């Protein structure tokens, strides 16, 4: 029992149970990410109701998770007819629905299937819980977040400070790899990762690593570390050899992101997180010019993003990488916006 309590604390990074409790939905809850993520969320002291939605297998997943003796009430919802009930009164909606990569694919190769899935689900969010914070995991994140934004805009409910592309896994990986390299405990390491969530758009700011990388570290080794963080998703796809992409580390990363959101909503701010968000007039002085979406350090508060924080000083390698990513990131954003402009989903998931 003591061990379980400790696990709960570790999973939520946190202090004793809170009084403010929220309804949280996972859309795609029966998938490779959805299942372990739902399990971790069931241990969160901030969640009173956990809504597990998928187009397949949710009754089993919900029955299984509901037997855990932790606080959140769990309910499973199956198929589009049950989506409204899954979403009604939700404050946070996490979306890992969609297909994962196989070896040889890029994240953009998932666009044709996942763009429509995300559009349909966010249409339902706009109707049934328009004020909810929405965290998109489904790839390609660089495009699916702009799609979600366009859907919310069309419905007249877009709040840029409440829509997030989840890039926490890039931060988690950077922490793990730097810890390995410097021989530190990963929990004591922090590394900003900004930009987007695909290949060269993932920009770890290794010059701001805490603890710092050894000053004597050769440039080639820094470049190799940066490349490993950028290609870490592919490393997992190849290791899984056709059985999907990162699921367990992603579930951990998403649970950590959800925990930050729920702490901020509870007024336990200021909470600092990284996520891929829309640029606004207020963030124009800190986000690289010409990029309407960018993953930045954020200060979260009760209402969502309160401030997009500056990236801090970049070294020459990082500045070069930032310049190099711009065209790809902009192309992915445009692709998402154009897709959303084309018209309604073939089969809206209402
Ligand atoms: N943002 C990130 O850092 C990461 C993103 N991903 C992405 O997350 C997505 C999910 O990955 P996995 O869980 O491994 O895939 P998976 O195939 O194991 O699970 C996806 C789930 O989505 C469900 N689904 C499909 N259409 C749906 C709909 N219209 N409504 C509700 N549920 C629906 C499926 O039934 C399935 O249970 C992929 O697009 C993957 O590329 C994966 C890892 C990291
Ligand atoms: O690589 C993939 O396809 C899944 C993903 O986004 C990641 O692991 O970072």
Find out if CATH 3.40.50.150 is the number for domain 2-165.
no
Catalytic residue, from 13, 67, 128, 197: name it.
197
Binding residue per annotation — 325? no
Residue written as tokens 């379980």?
A: 4
Choosing from 98, 107, 109 the residue with most ligand 2 atoms within 8 A of its CB, the one to mutate for a pocket test is 107
Does 249 show up as a binding residue in the annotation? no
3-class secondary structure, 246 = coil
Helices in the chain by DSSP H: which ranges? 2-12, 34-42, 58-66, 83-87, 111-128, 141-154, 168-182, 219-230, 232-240, 248-265, 316-341
In contact, 278 and 160? CB cutoff 8 Å: yes
Query: What stretch(es) of the chain map to CATH 3.40.50.720?
Result: 2-165
Report yes or no: 101 and 107 within 8 Å, Cβ to Cβ.
yes
Reported pTM = 0.94
User: 316-341 vs 111-128: helix axis angle to the nearest 10?
Assistant: 70
Atom of ligand 1 nearest to the CA of 101: 41
- Is residue 301 part of an annotated ligand binding site? no
Q: Distance between CA atoms of 293 and 337, rounded to whole angstroms?
A: 11
Atom of ligand 2 nearest to the CA of 173: 9
Per-residue pLDDT of the chain (350 residues), as tens digits, is 455 455 555 454 545 445 689 999 999 999 999 999 999 999 999 999 999 999 999 999 999 999 999 999 999 999 999 999 999 999 999 999 999 999 999 999 999 999 999 999 999 999 999 999 999 999 999 999 999 999 999 999 999 999 999 999 999 999 999 999 999 999 999 999 999 999 999 999 999 999 999 999 999 999 999 999 999 999 999 999 999 999 999 999 999 999 999 999 999 978 999 999 999 999 999 999 999 999 999 999 999 999 999 999 999 999 999 999 999 999 999 999 999 999 664 554 54
33 labelled binding-site residue = yes
243 CA distance to ligand 2 middle (Å): 13
Task: Estimate to the nearest angstrom the gap between the alpha carbon of 277 and the chain centroid.
Answer: 11
Q: Which ligand is closest in space to the CA of residue 164?
A: 1
> By alpha-carbon position, which residue is closest to atom 1 of ligand 2?
233
The ipTM estimated for the assembled molecules is 0.99
Rounded to whole angstroms, the Cα distance separating 340 from 345 reads 9
DSSP H helices in 43-93: 58-66, 83-87
Q: In this predicted structure, what is the pLDDT of residue 115?
A: 98
Please count the residues of the chain.
Answer: 350
Cα 223 to ligand 1 centre (Å): 31
- For domain 168-336, the CATH architecture is Alpha-Beta Complex (3.90)
Q: Is 96 in the pocket of ligand 1 (CB under 6 A)?
A: yes
Determine if ligand 1 sits within 6 Å of the CB of residue 251.
Answer: no
- The per-residue DSSP string of 307-318 comes to EEPP-----HHH
Ligand 2 in reach of 233 Cβ (< 6 A)? yes
Q: What is the pLDDT of residue 1?
A: 43
13: annotated active-site residue: no
- Ligand 1, atom nearest to 29 Cα: 37
What is the location of CATH 3.90.110.10 in the chain? 168-336
């Amino acid at each position: 029992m003591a061990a379980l309590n400790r696990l709960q604390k570790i999973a939520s990074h946190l202090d004793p149970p809170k009084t403010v409790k929220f309804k949280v939905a996972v859309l795609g809850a029966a998938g490779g990410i959805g299942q372990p993520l739902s399990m971790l969320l069931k241990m969160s002291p901030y969640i009173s109701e956990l809504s597990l939605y998928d187009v397949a297998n949710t009754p089993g997943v919900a029955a299984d998770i509901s037997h855990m003796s932790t606080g959140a009430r769990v309910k499973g919802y199956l198929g589009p007819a049950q989506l409204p009930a899954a979403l009604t009164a939700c404050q946070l909606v996490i979306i890992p629905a969609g297909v994962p990569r196989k070896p040889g694919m890029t994240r953009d190769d998932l666009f044709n299937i996942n763009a429509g899935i995300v559009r349909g689900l966010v249409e339902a969010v706009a109707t049934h819980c328009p004020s909810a914070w929405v965290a998109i995991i489904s790839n390609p994140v660089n495009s699916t977040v702009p799609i979600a934004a366009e859907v919310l805009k069309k419905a007249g409910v877009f709040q840029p400070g409440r829509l997030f592309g989840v890039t926490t896994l890039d931060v988690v990986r950077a922490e793990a790899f730097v810890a390995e390299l410097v021989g530190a405990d990963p929990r004591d390491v922090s590394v900003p990762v900004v930009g987007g969530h695909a290949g060269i758009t993932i920009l770890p700011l290794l010059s701001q690593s805490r603890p710092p990388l050894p000053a004597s570290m050769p440039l080639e080794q820094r470049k190799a570390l940066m490349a490993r963080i950028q290609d870490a998703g592919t490393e997992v796809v190849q290791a899984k050899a056709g059985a999907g992409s990162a699921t367990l580390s992603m579930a951990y990363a998403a649970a950590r992101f959800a925990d930050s959101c729920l702490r901020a909503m509870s007024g336990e701010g200021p909470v600092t997180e990284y996520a891929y968000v829309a640029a606004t007039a207020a963030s124009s002085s800190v986000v690289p010019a010409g990029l309407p979406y960018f993953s930045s350090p954020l200060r979260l508060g009760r209402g969502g993003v309160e401030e997009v924080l500056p990236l801090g000083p970049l070294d020459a390698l990082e500045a070069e990488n930032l310049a190099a990513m711009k065209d790809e990131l902009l192309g992915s954003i445009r692709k998402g916006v154009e897709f959303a402009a084309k018209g309604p989903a073939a089969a809206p998931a209402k």
